[in-house]
Amino acid sequence: MLSNTLRQIQRQSVRAFSSETKIWNVYLSGEIHSDWRNVIAEGVQKKNLPVRLSSPNLNHEDSDDCGAIILGMQEERPNWDRLGAKMNDIRTKTLLSQADIVVVCFGEKYRQWNAAFDAGYAAALGKPLITLHPPEISHMLKEVNASANVVCEEPEQVVQTLAYVILGELPSTPKDGDRFIPIADRLGKGNPNP
Amino acid sequence: MLSNTLRQIQRQSVRAFSSETKIWNVYLSGEIHSDWRNVIAEGVQKKNLPVRLSSPNLNHEDSDDCGAIILGMQEERPNWDRLGAKMNDIRTKTLLSQADIVVVCFGEKYRQWNAAFDAGYAAALGKPLITLHPPEISHMLKEVNASANVVCEEPEQVVQTLAYVILGELPSTPKDGDRFIPIADRLGKGNPNP
Amino acid sequence: MLSNTLRQIQRQSVRAFSSETKIWNVYLSGEIHSDWRNVIAEGVQKKNLPVRLSSPNLNHEDSDDCGAIILGMQEERPNWDRLGAKMNDIRTKTLLSQADIVVVCFGEKYRQWNAAFDAGYAAALGKPLITLHPPEISHMLKEVNASANVVCEEPEQVVQTLAYVILGELPSTPKDGDRFIPIADRLGKGNPNP
Amino acid sequence: MLSNTLRQIQRQSVRAFSSETKIWNVYLSGEIHSDWRNVIAEGVQKKNLPVRLSSPNLNHEDSDDCGAIILGMQEERPNWDRLGAKMNDIRTKTLLSQADIVVVCFGEKYRQWNAAFDAGYAAALGKPLITLHPPEISHMLKEVNASANVVCEEPEQVVQTLAYVILGELPSTPKDGDRFIPIADRLGKGNPNP
Amino acid sequence: MLSNTLRQIQRQSVRAFSSETKIWNVYLSGEIHSDWRNVIAEGVQKKNLPVRLSSPNLNHEDSDDCGAIILGMQEERPNWDRLGAKMNDIRTKTLLSQADIVVVCFGEKYRQWNAAFDAGYAAALGKPLITLHPPEISHMLKEVNASANVVCEEPEQVVQTLAYVILGELPSTPKDGDRFIPIADRLGKGNPNP
Amino acid sequence: MLSNTLRQIQRQSVRAFSSETKIWNVYLSGEIHSDWRNVIAEGVQKKNLPVRLSSPNLNHEDSDDCGAIILGMQEERPNWDRLGAKMNDIRTKTLLSQADIVVVCFGEKYRQWNAAFDAGYAAALGKPLITLHPPEISHMLKEVNASANVVCEEPEQVVQTLAYVILGELPSTPKDGDRFIPIADRLGKGNPNP
Amino acid sequence: MLSNTLRQIQRQSVRAFSSETKIWNVYLSGEIHSDWRNVIAEGVQKKNLPVRLSSPNLNHEDSDDCGAIILGMQEERPNWDRLGAKMNDIRTKTLLSQADIVVVCFGEKYRQWNAAFDAGYAAALGKPLITLHPPEISHMLKEVNASANVVCEEPEQVVQTLAYVILGELPSTPKDGDRFIPIADRLGKGNPNP
Amino acid sequence: MLSNTLRQIQRQSVRAFSSETKIWNVYLSGEIHSDWRNVIAEGVQKKNLPVRLSSPNLNHEDSDDCGAIILGMQEERPNWDRLGAKMNDIRTKTLLSQADIVVVCFGEKYRQWNAAFDAGYAAALGKPLITLHPPEISHMLKEVNASANVVCEEPEQVVQTLAYVILGELPSTPKDGDRFIPIADRLGKGNPNP
């Protein structure tokens, strides 16, 4: 039997058919207090993927105050917030609507209703959706994940998914490491269905 | 000067033009642990509004287990959850997509990412959106509220909004009670803009 | 040569083919300070047309204050206005989007930017548009009229248009009265094109 | 601990919120040589579900010859087949496009490319999709099932799914019978995620 | 071997699955100088088909003069024609856009560019299209027919098509009469493809 | 008073606002037996307009026989024609659907139902439509022209329209030559409306 | 406490995530008698924003006479106006429909129904909308502003909004100058909601 | 009479009108065990067609295991398959939805329900569809072929179709070789219709 690593080498010799490179627009929505976007950006760059990343404005303070700074302050918080949110909305909805793939990241600490809102918005537009969150909050996200194509736990998995989707490139080490057995080896040829 | 009550009576003599009644489909999304839907249903019935209310399945246990009961159990929670969520999804997306108005309720206790997801889904379809939540969580909902037509704090306000939108009927007592002064009285005619 | 009246009788014996009656939804947008909607409603009733008329809320004071009454007052006029306008918007966009035909009336006295806004909204949705306004403001409305199917000067013409479109019924007296000559009589058969 | 049966009774006392009944259009595509549609029709009738079932023409011979009978015979089979297929297509695409839910049944014996074609057509229109097939052909259907909301093995499960989606009604006996344990009992409250 | 008539009887015992009747909207466009619409209307009535027929205004003189009668005469023919055409357009596009099936009839005598225009309009909206014309003009209509589901020579064939599409009912006498042989008889079972 | 020529010079100093050049896709449909497309192509090149012209296949014989050459001959003309028409359809509908502007030319000699079909198809997609035909057939084209933005008699007018729409450039000589008087001169300022 | 200027510097170090520059199409509709477009164009150039500005034809005389010059004069003003308006419409609707952001400017002097029409058209297409007008006419524009993302008083604010939306860049001086206090400073952390 | 070869030369001197080259996106779906895609790619390259080919991932093993490798193994085959299928789905639906033309290949050996699913998906999106399969399975594909523009037996015919559609180039040797007679020669001018 072949080692997994060797198998990977074999596999990678047969790649997806593509006579010319398309640039894939990928919108990164959600969580702004951790560095997941940078991990994805570095991974995309390292693998040299034909990907154009975009995101909402990531400066929390600016996204709260932008409306008040440009248009003037408001006495009450809901009015202050609305000015800013409608301004951010121009960027968010434009980039999300023009994306090929939408990635939405949820964390344990914040409610991030805007992330779930973006996921719903993307789903209604028929965008392929990738969610990213720690497994501990999986149950609370079951409706969101039901509309997702891929549910990741780590940003590296998002990069691996993009590499596979776009170039047909799979990681040399599977998530389950040496325990990984291809389905055809495990169940035998002929599509048994235990 | 006329009392507010008298003013209301005057006003209500001039109503929206409508030669025949349309049934308005209103979908009630979100929060399933409080009785806000019943308050709206009773208000709609009391005012005899031409409204057909609908909602997701409201039995938490059923909505978790429906897939496993009908299709069989799954070993792992994410698989169990997915079976159920995809089944609930048939109801949710169908009724939401066919609604004239979508109401989404958020509470302080739960994350309700599915409520925010529904709000995003409705917004992308161009549905008029009414949100309902205690004012304390307003800031966290600023992106969701920016896509809403009306932001309510109490379910009675949702009923009042429906009554006004559909029949042109306004409550006899304004939210601010006797302190209420019509804008034309306060600022004078001629559209001044202080 | 036949008199015009006789001709009309002849004509009306050959009517549009329709084996069953459809109800036509007609939305009446614009001008709220004159009685043009009542003229149309009476004409529709008199001719017994299968038409369901609808309109925005016609009470100016209510449409200004509805938001402030239900949701609470706002200090500044733009905030006060926004609360009301977003609430009225639920009714306006729903009925306009579900209409078969949109009629928009402009008067000389007011700017009625909302009427022109509704006309643009209807045009983008591909709705058949009928405008109604005195001929004196025709030049200022040239872009709006360029998207209209029919441009009327009097509400009676709107009723006549609906009667013709739906039932194939034409008025017994043409607008130009006895001066009216059918095009075939005037130019002769065979489609000459002077 | 409660017995499963008792639990079901408890559950069924809390039903989906719906102030008025909507008729659900359900299109039954695929397999025409077994009686699965009758099983569903009987189940729907027995449970008194507000469902309007529809299907393609089920007479194999008619669906082959309809074009040749009405329009005239063709020398070559592909031309003969095209005449018929384009005629059947009027029924198929109209009913499928107007359905709320599309059910597609695959069997082991035939290739049923038209069933898979209908599934793809429904998916592109965003229709909720239920597939029905013996588990043995699951692998060959993996792309189709990936677009489905629910994957059933027996037509009774389709009926159960409709009853749950529309009325919130669950079967008194789960698929796994007495082995069934609700997820909250199995894993405990608080959304653990093993 | 069974006679064709007997075969038809056999066949008709297995009908399309439909638990409740849908009304089919059928728009009849084109040719206004022959009686093809009446033939279809009588056929539909005789077979008791659940069909709602509609058409453009069929009075040639009215459809030329409607605009000039209601809105006033125009000096030049193109302006006169435009007034009328835009008014007729309200009826035409509304009924065509809301139809389930569009039938377009072409004759040898007139150019009927409006019929071809309607066919293109229907095709772009994805409407099932039935064309009706004498075989002699088939070549000139090849682009139009390429977008049609069914190409008929006689209005009776349109009725037969509707009866088959909606009820699964086939004519007792095939177009080719006794010469008709079902494809399975002619080529044998097993899908040979000569 | 200024001469018309001088006026033109004045006018051309104030041009449409456009900070960067967009390429306009213009599809030229209809008439294939005259040289109107070449006239437009030369005009576009001479004026250096940022325009990409496209058209259906213009070789009549090829467009008849393409299907039979590539896929094989058919016995009957309608089958032969269908093979070719469906193949041409790929080019036609793709280019037409991706055009910014659709120009359709009609001549007196041929029926050109495909030209009218394309016009209807473009109208349903909301494409700006320019028609081009001799004035003698204007009446027969009244429904088509009612959906057109511009009705031209000569291909030079199509070029002039493109130059004006894209660059704001008007011809130095108006169609009516020295008789031309600007509307403001003729009627005076202030929008009189005789 | 930090000075506002210092705060701005801090803020600007954290910018929106964008790995590659998209060109934003911005359509400038409305008011043609003041220089607001030039102010925006200069601001966009000065800040080096990746923006492509476009507009309707800005030459009032040309936009009135274009149709009459190219297609020939008309006797009556409404016909003259229609020829021109339909020609301008090609440019207007194409550029507006292809824009990422639509800016509409209203002035006190003119009725500018075409500006409001464009705003309605943009809103129906779901385009992000920025309105620009003096505060004195705010009440008359309440329905239009209710569909806007941002309501500006000065063209510089439009430039600032574009700079923030696209690059995350905020002006060094807030509208309220030294009086400006970030919301988090004013209300304290933790989302209080007074 | 001209030889066929000479005729071809004549024909090719009159080509489709196209002032600038558009790149055509062509998605190649279906059959992954034969080399049909390479035949098309070589043909496209040889003829120097402005075509960008794309396809699903063609490595069978990778497309089965991609989800399990990146996201982790699943115990049961349907869960394993779903992980992979949803991941492949991102590529498939994105490229298919952005294609100008979709080619779907069916073979005799496999069921290829995903190929038929893709064909249905493409048809619902209104994509021009080319099918490719041996004539022996034509009957089983009659519903799929009824939605196709072109039905090919050999991949060379797909290349020929692309060359004709895009450049107006026809093969020098017709499929039927020397037996080929242009329709105008066979039937004579004037559109006879035997």
pLDDT over threshold 80, residue G188:
no
In the block, tokens 């609430």 appear at C87
pLDDT over threshold 90, residue E15:
no
pLDDT confidence of residue E122: 98
Residues of chain H found within 8 Å of residue E136, distances taken between Cβ atoms: 193
Within chain D, what is the greatest distance between any pair of CA atoms? 72
pLDDT confidence of residue A108: 83
Q: Which two tokens stand for residue C94?
A: 């729903």
Residue C146's pLDDT band (boundaries 50, 70, 90)?
very high
Q: What is the pLDDT of residues C22-74, one digit of tens each?
A: 999 999 999 888 899 999 999 999 999 999 999 999 999 999 999 999 999 99
Over residues B27-32, mean pLDDT: 94
pLDDT over threshold 80, residue H74:
yes
Handedness of CA E170, E175, E179, E184 (dihedral sign): negative
pLDDT averaged over chain F? 90
B109 domain-assigned: yes
Q: Which helix (H) or strand (E) holds G95?
A: helix G77-97
Domain limits at C53? 21-58+101-169
Phi-psi region of D177 (alpha: psi -120 to 50; beta: other; left: phi over 0): left
Question: CATH number of the domain that B51 lies in?
Answer: 3.40.50.2300
pLDDT over threshold 80, residue E7:
no
Give the DSSP per-residue string, B127-172: --EEEE--GGGTGGGHHHHHT-SEEESSHHHHHHHHHHHHH----S
pLDDT averaged over chain D? 90
Q: What is the pLDDT of residues H91-144, one digit of tens each?
A: 999 999 999 999 999 998 888 999 999 999 999 999 999 999 999 999 999 999
Over residues A170-187, mean pLDDT: 94
Percentage, residues of chain B above pLDDT 90 = 80
Identity of the residue in H54, H61, H72 whose CB atom sits nearest the CB atom of A18? H54
pLDDT confidence of residue B146: 98
D13 domain-assigned: no
pLDDT confidence of residue F13: 47
Residue type, H5: T
- Residue A49 near residue G17 (C-beta atoms within 8 A): no
F174 domain-assigned: no
Q: What is the pLDDT of residues B88-114, one digit of tens each?
A: 999 999 999 999 999 999 998 878 899
Q: Which helix (H) or strand (E) holds B104?
A: strand B101-105
Over residues E120-134, mean pLDDT: 98
Residue G7's pLDDT band (boundaries 50, 70, 90)?
low
- Residue E26 near residue D76 (C-beta atoms within 8 A): no
Over residues A20-42, mean pLDDT: 92
Over residues D101-124, mean pLDDT: 94
Q: Which residues contact H117 (CB under 8 A, 6 or more apart)?
A: D116, D117, D119, D120, D123, D143, D144, D147
Contact partners for chain G, using 3 or more CB pairs closer than 8 A, are A, B, C, E, F
pLDDT over threshold 60, residue H10:
no
The CB density around residue H40, as the number of other CB atoms within 10 Å, is 25
Q: To the nearest whole angstrom, how far is the Cα of H74 from the nearest Cα of chain E?
A: 40
- Residue E127 near residue E103 (C-beta atoms within 8 A): no
pLDDT over threshold 50, residue A190:
yes
H86 domain-assigned: no
Give the DSSP per-residue string, B28-56: EEE--SSSHHHHHHHHHHHTT--EEEE-S
Cα–Cα dist H105/H130, whole Å: 9
pLDDT over threshold 80, residue H3:
no
pLDDT confidence of residue F20: 57
B78 domain-assigned: no
Is there a contact between E81 and F147 if contact means CB atoms under 8 Å apart?
no
Percentage, residues of chain G above pLDDT 70 = 87
Considering only CB atoms, which residues of chain G are within 8 Å of chain E?
74-76, 79
Contact partners for chain E, using 3 or more CB pairs closer than 8 A, are C, D, F, G, H
pLDDT over threshold 60, residue A193:
no
The CB density around residue E190, as the number of other CB atoms within 10 Å, is 8
pLDDT confidence of residue B4: 60
Residues of chain E found within 8 Å of residue G74, distances taken between Cβ atoms: 79
Burial class (CB in 10 A: 0-12, 13-18, 19+), C194: exposed
Residue F188's pLDDT band (boundaries 50, 70, 90)?
confident
Over residues A94-116, mean pLDDT: 94
Contact partners for chain F, using 3 or more CB pairs closer than 8 A, are C, D, E, G, H
Number of structural domains found in chain D: 1
pLDDT confidence of residue E28: 97
pLDDT confidence of residue A101: 98
Q: Which residues contact B149 (CB under 8 A, 6 or more apart)?
A: B128, B129, B130, C86, C87, C89, C90
Residue type, A41: A
pLDDT confidence of residue G10: 52
pLDDT confidence of residue E129: 98
pLDDT over threshold 70, residue D11:
no
Over residues E149-162, mean pLDDT: 98
Is there a contact between H65 and A15 if contact means CB atoms under 8 Å apart?
no
pLDDT confidence of residue D5: 59
pLDDT over threshold 70, residue G20:
no
Identity of the residue in F52, F61, F89 whose CB atom sits nearest the CB atom of H20? F52
pLDDT confidence of residue H188: 75
pLDDT confidence of residue B187: 83
Each as own residue / partner, the long-range contacts of residues C80-84 (CB below 8 Å, 24 or more positions apart, any chain) are: C80/B183, C81/G138, C81/G139, C81/G142, C81/G145, C82/G142, C82/G145, C82/G146, C84/G142
Over residues D52-78, mean pLDDT: 96
Q: What is the pLDDT of residues A62-92, one digit of tens each?
A: 999 999 999 999 999 999 999 999 999 999 9
- Residue C90 near residue C62 (C-beta atoms within 8 A): no
Rounded to a whole number of angstroms, the distance between the first and last alpha carbons of chain A is 23
B159 domain-assigned: yes
pLDDT over threshold 60, residue E20:
no
Q: What is the pLDDT of residues G45-69, one digit of tens each?
A: 999 999 999 999 999 999 999 999 9
Residue D32's pLDDT band (boundaries 50, 70, 90)?
confident
Q: Which two tokens stand for residue H38?
A: 């390479």
E41 domain-assigned: yes
Chains C and F touch (3+ CB pairs under 8 A): yes
Show the 3-state SS of G107-173. CCCCCCHHHHHHHHHHHHCCCCEEEECCHHHCHHHHHHHHCCCEEECCHHHHHHHHHHHHHCCCCCC
User: Which of C139, C142, C153 is best to mutate for the G interface (most G CBs within 10 A)?
Assistant: C142
pLDDT averaged over chain H? 90
pLDDT confidence of residue E1: 43
Q: How many CB pairs under 8 A join B and D?
A: 115
The Cα-based distances of F74 to D71, E102, F70, F71, H186 in angstroms read 18, 28, 12, 9, 12
Q: What is the pLDDT of residues D117-128, one digit of tens each?
A: 999 999 999 999
Chains C and H touch (3+ CB pairs under 8 A): no
E137 domain-assigned: yes
* DSSP 8-state secondary structure symbol assigned to residue A177: G
Q: What is the pLDDT of residues B69-93, one digit of tens each?
A: 999 999 999 999 999 999 999 999 9
pLDDT confidence of residue H7: 57
Considering only CB atoms, which residues of chain D are within 8 Å of chain E?
28, 37, 41, 44, 51-59, 61-62, 64-73, 76-78, 80, 86-91, 93-95, 98
Q: To the nearest whole angstrom, how far is the Cα of F84 from the nearest Cα of chain C?
A: 33
Cα–Cα dist H126/B4, whole Å: 59
Residues of chain G found within 8 Å of residue A53, distances taken between Cβ atoms: 17-20
Over residues E144-150, mean pLDDT: 98
Residues of chain B found within 8 Å of residue G139, distances taken between Cβ atoms: 191, 193
Q: What is the pLDDT of residues B128-147, one digit of tens each?
A: 999 999 999 999 999 999 99
- Residue H145 near residue E193 (C-beta atoms within 8 A): no
pTM for the full predicted model:
0.94
pLDDT confidence of residue D13: 46
Residues of chain G found within 8 Å of residue A95, distances taken between Cβ atoms: 22
Chains H and F touch (3+ CB pairs under 8 A): yes
Is there a contact between G116 and C121 if contact means CB atoms under 8 Å apart?
no
Contact partners for chain C, using 3 or more CB pairs closer than 8 A, are A, B, E, F, G
Residue B16's pLDDT band (boundaries 50, 70, 90)?
low
Q: Which two tokens stand for residue D23?
A: 């008729």
pLDDT confidence of residue G27: 97
pLDDT confidence of residue G4: 60
pLDDT averaged over chain E? 90
User: Which of F131, F143, F145 is best to mutate for the E interface (most E CBs within 10 A)?
Assistant: F143
Q: What is the pLDDT of residues A137-155, one digit of tens each?
A: 999 999 999 999 999 999 9
pLDDT confidence of residue E188: 75
Q: Which two tokens stand for residue H167?
A: 């450049």
Identity of the residue in D17, D166, D168 whose CB atom sits nearest the CB atom of B53? D17
Chains C and G touch (3+ CB pairs under 8 A): yes
